[in-house]
Amino acid sequence: MSRTVQCIKLGKEAEGLPMAPYPGDLGKRIFENVSKEAWQMWLGHQTMLINEYHLTPIEPKARHFLEEEMEKFFFGSGSEKPKEYVPPKDD
């Protein structure tokens, strides 16, 4: 049986993650307050940030930036798309 959480991002009760997706206190907060659906939304947003800003996630500076954006995405005012971002066109 899957667990449910009151998802802070979606504002509704939804299926929770099976385990903390990130280490430390932030990972614990995400596990307790973020649904699987909202986590998938973050993964898409994170991919866009990595691509648009040409980040290398193994670099400490890039990891710190992504962690800050993750915090904003779930618990703050939201993580903004880069000003230059143009969504891919559907064919």
Tell me the pLDDT of the chain (91 aa) as tens digits. Answer: 589 999 999 999 999 999 999 999 999 999 999 999 999 999 999 999 999 999 999 999 999 999 999 999 999 887 777 777 677 776 5
Write down the pLDDT at residue 85: 67
Domains of the chain: 4-75 (1.10.3880.10)
pLDDT on residue 78: 78
Q: Give the global pTM.
A: 0.86
pLDDT of residue 12: 97
Residue 60 in contact with residue 31, Cβ under 8 Å?
A: no
Tell me how far apart the alpha carbons of residues 52 and 86 are, in angstroms, rounded to a whole number. 10
